[in-house]
Amino acid sequence: MLGVRALGNRPNKLTPKNLIANKYIMDYIKQFESGLKKLVEEFVHEVRSIRVGQASPALVEDVKVFCYDGQAMQLKQVAAIAVSSSRELLVQPWDKSLIPNITKALADLPGGIQATPDKDVVRLTLPMLTEDRRKEFIKLVHQSAEGIRIRMRKERDEINKKIDTIAAEDERFRTKDRVDEVMKSIQKDIDGLSDQKEKELLSF
């Protein structure tokens, strides 16, 4: 990942006003980079739910379950998740009253995963990975990646507007180039993760 470089090597005079503007610009770029990194983490969680190979708790452990008073919690925080076979997981909540909530959250997952309540547990059955299903999963990965890219471009447009309001005219192009460097670095991470998931889907 790229770090935030100092905004130096400029011919313009560093007046107190310029120094304050530069500090704001550096803060904006740090916030921008931090926001994009969070989008990468979100993308990782999204593609992790698109399963390949054998059943694994990692496929569903981060699924958000709406619990008490509408509070969203990760599945691993409210239940034990165990592998019962190569295509089945057992989810056993600490509080049995959460079984309907957990079943609903898991039933909404992409990829044809079946969530079935069974007494004190919820059984998750993973479908066979056919050629058509591989294509469906790869399409989901591409759609998710494009959704992240759109949000990244929106974040870039927002920071560029802020730069326009506080940066001196001779500073804007150089600062926006820096924003583009951060953007390209994060974009490369998204592209790499997308390609890796696609290869994973094609290898099983």
Any domain includes 98: yes
Provide the domain count of the chain: 1
Mean of per-residue pLDDT scores for the chain: 83
Any domain includes 131: no
Predicted confidence (pLDDT) at residue 137 exceeds the cutoff of 80:
yes
Any domain includes 31: no
Any domain includes 184: no
Q: Whole-angstrom Cα distance, residue 158 to residue 124?
A: 42
Q: Please identify which residue in the block is written with the tokens 């460097």.
A: 181
In the prediction, which pLDDT does 11 show? 47
Any domain includes 78: yes
Any domain includes 70: yes
Strand 64-66 relative to strand 72-74: parallel, antiparallel, unpaired? antiparallel
- Chain-centroid distance of CA 65 in Å reads 17
pLDDT tens-digit series, residues 56-109 = 788 888 889 998 888 899 999 999 999 988 788 899 999 999 999 999 988 877
Please report, for the domain that includes residue 76, its CATH number. 3.30.1360.40
Residue 119, domain extent:
57-125
Residue 116's DSSP bridge partners are 123
Any domain includes 39: no
